[in-house]
Amino acid sequence: MAELTLTHESLARAREVVRPHVAPTATLRWPLLEQALGTRLWVKHENHNPTGAFKVRGGLTFMAHHREEGPGGGVISASRGNHSQSLAFAGAAAGVPVTIVVPEGNSPDKNAATEAFGARLVVHGADFQEALEHAGVLAEAEGLTPVPPIHPWLVEGVATYAAELHEAVPDLDVVYVPVGMGSGICANILVRDLLGRRTEIVGVVAENAPAYALSFEAGEPVPTDTADTFVDGVACRTPDPLAVDTICRGAARIVRVGEQQAAAAMALHYRSTHNLPEPAGSLALAAALGERDRLAGKRVAVVQTGGNADFEVLRRVFGG
């Protein structure tokens, strides 16, 4: 099995590709969050990106490679939302047709945004895994290039935010990163290693979608039968082998966050920063708060991976 890798040259190229479309995002300290955590805390605000989430960076680098080195033509992928908007945005910028398969009952707001960015939307399957399998069928039938959830070209782009974080805050002790399919945590591990830092990279999953936590503990991919969580950005039940390999070699641990913890962190994040966090964007903060005792005196960062929260989800969380 190949490994995910990152070099100074590939990172520099990714930054050149991303820069015209995505300005460096803010890395900020918020006094109320630091009071709650009891130590110095920085928030990496990837919710400020053009699609409202970090994944747009990976979409841009994938499309650049696809046009220069790939087969060309249209691409297809499956997504619950942020990955789909990323590819739709990047495809429009590069002139590449994009098809996205989403499961039934997917976020209507994210579906609408994906189409607004220019992608063709196909609804199929009961969950992400079934949507992903159908995307493979359509790729073969229509001659489209499949874009997997984890790919070296995607991770290169995502690595640009991790590089920005370490430049803004040298000598971080711990970074908490939500884990959906794994591009974010893998990028953080690769950048940490490339820069020679000693920062702990801690992955965070939803308690009801523990596939990556189970995989980390087993040292190999461990699928689950369900991923029943309102935190749709991390609702994975079939981990990617490349991501699992990188995480097992480079993460300090994987923390599980309960539904109520995630909702409480969303509310705290909004009250403290007036930045709207999507459910997955709350997980890093929730995990850090759960490990408050072990973080005393440390320099901590959490990644607010995005701000694409459905209105109905916000009403339930903030109303509760």
Does residue 292 surpass a pLDDT of 90? yes
Report the pLDDT value the prediction gives residue 106, as an integer from 0 to 100. 87
Per-residue pLDDT, averaged over 13-41, amounts to: 98
- For the stretch 219-233, pLDDT in tens is 999 999 988 999 988
CA distances (Å), 131 to each of 138, 141, 225, in order? 11, 15, 15
Report the pLDDT value the prediction gives residue 52, as an integer from 0 to 100. 94
- For the stretch 134-178, pLDDT in tens is 999 999 999 999 999 899 999 999 999 999 999 999 999 999 999
Highest CATH level, class, for 55-146: alpha beta
Domains 8-53+152-319 and 55-146 are alike in CATH topology: yes
Tell me how far apart the alpha carbons of residues 317 and 267 are, in angstroms, rounded to a whole number.
Answer: 7
- Phi-psi group of 297: left, alpha or beta (phi > 0 → left; psi -120 to 50 → alpha; rest → beta): left
Per-residue pLDDT, averaged over 81-103, amounts to: 95
- For the stretch 170-217, pLDDT in tens is 999 999 999 999 999 999 999 999 999 999 999 999 999 999 999 999
What's the mean pLDDT when you consider all of the chain? 95
Per-residue pLDDT, averaged over 264-277, amounts to: 95
Provide the residue ranges of all domains of the chain, joining segments of one domain with +: 8-53+152-319, 55-146
State percent of the chain over pLDDT 70: 100
pLDDT band at 2 (very low <50, low <70, confident <90, very high): confident
Report the pLDDT value the prediction gives residue 320, as an integer from 0 to 100. 72
- In the DSSP assignment, the letter for residue 228 is -
Does residue 1 surpass a pLDDT of 80? no
Query: Please, which residues have CB within 8 angstroms of residue 281's CB and are 6 or more apart in sequence?
Result: 46, 47, 178, 233, 266, 269, 304, 305, 306, 307, 309
Q: What architecture (CATH level 2) is domain 8-53+152-319?
A: 3-Layer(aba) Sandwich (3.40)
- Determine phi and psi for 175, rounding to 5 degrees: -125, 125
Q: Which of 30-39, 51-60, 256-265, 302-311 shows the lowest mean pLDDT across its residues?
A: 302-311
pLDDT band at 33 (very low <50, low <70, confident <90, very high): very high
- Decide if 227 contacts 211 (C-beta within 8 A): yes
- Of 98, 99, 239, 264, nearest in space to 180 by CA: 239
CA distances (Å), 258 to each of 11, 203, 231, 251, 279, in order? 35, 14, 10, 21, 12
Does residue 102 surpass a pLDDT of 70? yes
- Residue 62's DSSP bridge partners are none
- Of 152, 146, 151, 180, nearest in space to 46 by CA: 180
